[in-house]
Amino acid sequence: MLETRGWDDYALLDMGEGRKLERYGPVTVDRPEPQAMGPRRLPPRAWDAADAIFTGTDEDDGPGRWRVNRDLPETWEMAYDGVRYLGRFMSFRHVGVFPEQAAHWQWMADQVRRANRPLKVLNLFGYTGLASLLPAAAGAKVTHVDASKKAIGWARENQALSGMEDLPIRWICDDALKFVTREVKRGNTYDGIVLDPPKYGRGPKGEIWDLYESLPEMLTLLERILAPDARFLVLTAYAIRSSFLSLHEVMADTLKTRGGLLESGELVLRAEAGDRALSTSLFSRWSGA
């Protein structure tokens, strides 16, 4: 398990009864979380005091709405390890950052620093850009790919907010699978790749992504654009009916000629009080050196 214990601008305050109570900078939110089983530890008044409460469908990451309990700005600023980013309320219960990913952000940044050479990093399904900005700040040249113009716009706002406009990041709005297919044909390679795909999604031209069907093809292509002396490949999967062993096996099969170290498991948030942990997603990551 890879744990994130929070930082100045994030804390898991409590969980239970299918919900989680979190603090994102100055804003506290109450959101659905199917894996938050058991009783809550904080009194009802702490939950009632949440600044925003999300209600939605019973489907994983289904659309819904936020009920805001006080005047809040449309966006608010937060920071992680020198990178500043904006929070926003999204219709799919998100606020623009997945804090459990901090375990990967730091690890990738360390990989970049230890390489003692400029690394080329590809961030697929890049969303709001923290997994691009952290490696870039550590010295990598990053290509950020997402199918949503809105997400890329948000990521570039985060770049500007952080004063990192001069960092070598390419922002590309494209279907991830189509982009990688073209990179194979071009003969381009990368020293590090990170992908955080949805269970299901659509590209900018209606392309369909289904994790169970599309991921094996994607990984086969990614192996072809990993440089011979590549440093890492990181995969995360949310809201799927599977185990980390499934990710581990498909990654192991993809990278069987590579050597290196393959680690797989769960990303976990540790509650602020320290006595409970919440599993949020599955991961498999490979390091080649």
User: Is the pLDDT at 263 greater than 50, yes or no?
Assistant: yes
Task: Check residue 58 and give its pLDDT.
Answer: 45
Mean pLDDT of 59-79: 83
User: Which residues span the domain enclosing 66?
Assistant: 2-87
- Say what angle helices 211-225 and 244-254 make with each other, to 10 degrees: 40
Task: Check residue 147 and give its pLDDT.
Answer: 94
How many domains, the chain? 2
Distance of CA 38 to the CA centre of its chain: 26
Residue 144 sits in the same domain as residue 275:
yes
Task: Check residue 244 and give its pLDDT.
Answer: 85
Q: What is the amino acid identity at position 34?
A: P
Range with the poorest average pLDDT among 79-83, 153-157, 174-178, 243-247: 243-247
Mean pLDDT of 153-158: 98
Q: Residue 269 in contact with residue 100, Cβ under 8 Å?
A: yes
- Between CA 211 and CA 216 the distance in angstroms is 8
pLDDT band for position 240 (50/70/90)?
A: low
Q: What is the pTM of this model?
A: 0.94
Is residue 27 left, alpha or beta, with left meaning phi > 0 and alpha meaning psi from -120 to 50?
beta
Residue 173 sits in the same domain as residue 281:
yes
Residue 122 sits in the same domain as residue 221:
yes
pLDDT band for position 200 (50/70/90)?
A: confident
User: Is the pLDDT at 186 greater than 90, yes or no?
Assistant: yes
- Between CA 157 and CA 228 the distance in angstroms is 34
- With respect to residue 63, please indicate whether it lies within any of the assigned structural domains: yes
Burial class (CB in 10 A: 0-12, 13-18, 19+), 159: buried
Residue 248 sits in the same domain as residue 140:
yes
- With respect to residue 254, please indicate whether it lies within any of the assigned structural domains: yes
Which stretches of 45-167 are assigned E, i.e. beta strand?
Answer: 52-56, 64-68, 76-80, 83-87, 120-124, 141-146
Residue 65 sits in the same domain as residue 111:
no
Burial track 190-224 (b if 16+ CB lie within 10 A, e otherwise): bbbbbbbbbbbbebeeeeebebeebbeebbebbbe
Residue 33 sits in the same domain as residue 116:
no
Report the DSSP beta bridge partners of residue 79.
84
Give the CATH number for residue 246. 3.40.50.150
Give the CATH number for residue 23. 2.60.40.1180
Task: Check residue 274 and give its pLDDT.
Answer: 84
User: Is the pLDDT at 57 greater than 80, yes or no?
Assistant: no
pLDDT digits (tens, 9 = 90+) for 210-235: 888 999 999 999 999 999 999 999 99
Average confidence score pLDDT of the chain: 93
pLDDT digits (tens, 9 = 90+) for 122-141: 999 999 999 999 999 999 99
Return the structure tokens found at 219: 């990984």
